[in-house]
Amino acid sequence: MEQEELSRTVQELQERLDKLESKNSRLTMVLFSGDFDKVMAAFIIANGALAMGKEVTMFVTFWGLDAIKKPEMGTAGKNALEKMVTLMRPKGPAKLPTSKMNFGGIGPRLFQYMMGKKNVEPLSSLIDMAREFGLKVIACQMSMDVMGIKKEDLIDGIETGGVAAFLSESYGSNTTLFI
Amino acid sequence: METKKLNFKGMTCPMPIMKTAIELKKAASGDVFEVVSDDAGFEPDVKAWCKETGNILASVTKSGSEITAVITKK
């Protein structure tokens, strides 16, 4: 009887340990910003974690969606306001503004030039690399609906979800970042 | 065992760590790598990366702007 209880306790402890270890190997991120500099930081961190063998989930919402739009995203099938938002927002990593010193769009070019001089990997290739490493991207369905963004307007191979999907990922990882 | 040399000079964060991860992923346990980088952040980065991944960092040496890390795959 005592033996049975002991082995049950050991099993329980093992399960708790597995859960903790699994948490330690995961990172959850919220990409809210669509600013070039912040998106850059998000993908550098994501890549670093992936290189450390962690599982990384990025929940992309609101302006962050600009970073994962296909450049060829069109306005077909959208209402007047959705069309306006589609036309006014940048499409894809190459078009993002910087949060400081944007200078009407010259800023990002300036920073891209300076980063190129220092051999910093371009944002688009950081995004591609993270995805090759298995980055899981969840696009916020509600933000997409508000701005009339369809799943086909965003890069392929991503999931869509809501707050519960994000929270479930977050509770299962011991680090969550909001950028 | 032969030491494999990896030259990641000219690359900046996060690329030296990314490339190290890619190369070590392909290797067998016990393989030894000599990784060279001139990114000033590489020393703390490679230490942290090895600590997190469990790969063994045998040494980190600096010569001018060049940082050389010797890593044994876990």
Could you tell me what percent of chain A has a pLDDT over 70? Answer: 99
Phi-psi domain of A5 (left: phi exceeds 0; alpha: psi -120 through 50; beta: other): alpha
Query: Encoding tokens for residue A109?
Result: 């070019």
* C-beta atoms surrounding A27 within 10 Å: 24
Task: Assess contact for A58 and A136: CB atoms under 8 A.
Answer: yes
Distance, in Å, from the CA atom of A139 to the CA atom of A63, rounded to the nearest integer, reads: 11
CA gap B33, A168 in Å, rounded: 39
Q: What is the mean pLDDT of residues B55-72?
A: 97
CB–CB of A121 and B14 under 8 A?
yes
Is A6 within the bounds of a domain?
A: no
Residues A170 and A155: their CA atoms lie apart, in Å, by 23
Does A111 reside within a domain?
yes
Collect all residues of chain B within an 8 Å Cβ-Cβ radius of residue A121.
11-12, 14-15
The answer to whether residues A178 and A30 touch, using CB atoms and an 8 Å cutoff, is yes
Instruction: Examine residue A140 and state whether it is found in any structural domain, yes or no.
Output: yes
Which candidate from A52, A118, A129 shows the least CB-CB separation from B53?
Answer: A52
Q: What pLDDT, on a 0 to 100 scale, did the predictor assign at position B2?
A: 85
* Domains along chain B with CATH numbers: 3-72 (3.30.110.40)
pLDDT at B1 over 80: no
Query: Residue A60 has which token pair?
Result: 């992309």
Residues of B noted as catalytic: 13
Q: Is the dihedral of CA A112, B64, B35, A41 positive or negative?
A: negative
In a domain, A21, yes or no: no
Please indicate whether, in this complex, the C-beta atoms of B17 and A118 are within 8 angstroms of each other.
no
A84 has a chain B CB within 8 A of its CB: no
Please check whether residue A88 lies inside any domain of the structure.
yes
Q: Which domain holds residue A36?
A: 29-178
pLDDT digits (tens, 9 = 90+) for A144-175: 999 999 999 999 999 999 999 999 999 999 99
Residue A129 binned pLDDT confidence (cut-offs 50, 70, 90): very high
The mean per-residue pLDDT over the stretch B30-37 comes to: 97
Whether A2 is covered by a domain: the verdict is no
Q: What is the full DSSP assignment across A62-87? A: GGGGGGGB-TT---TT--HHHHHHHH
Is residue A20 included in any domain, yes or no? no
Neighbouring C-beta atoms of residue A94, cutoff 10 Å: 13
Note if the bond before B44 is cis, omega within 30 degrees: no
> What would the pLDDT profile of B39-62 be if each residue is shown by its tens digit?
999 999 999 999 999 999 999 999
Asked if A53 and A25 touch (Cβ cutoff 8 Å), the reply is: yes
Q: Do strands A175-178 and A159-161 pair parallel, antiparallel, or not at all (unpaired)?
A: unpaired
**Whole-structure pTM value:** 0.91
Residue A9 in domain: no
Is residue A107 within 8 A of residue A98, CB to CB? The reply is yes
Q: What is the average pLDDT value for chain A, to the nearest integer?
A: 95
CB pairs under 8 A between A and B: 33
Over the stretch A38-87, which tens digit does the pLDDT of each residue have?
999 999 999 999 999 999 999 999 999 999 999 999 999 999 999 999 99
pLDDT at A7: 94
Q: What is the pLDDT of residue A93?
A: 94
- Domain count of chain A? 1
Q: Write out the two tokens for B57.
A: 């960092």
Q: In the prediction, which pLDDT does B40 show?
A: 92
Cβ atoms A26, A174 nearer than 8 A:
yes
Residues of B in contact with A119 (CB under 8 A): 10-12
Whether B23 has a pLDDT exceeding 90, the answer reads: yes
Could A119 and B14 be called an inter-chain contact, meaning their C-beta atoms sit closer than 8 Å? no
A120 contact residues in B (CB cutoff 8 A): 12-13
Report for A12-21, A27-36, A81-90: range of highest mean pLDDT:
A27-36
> A53 and B20 in contact by Cβ < 8 A?
no
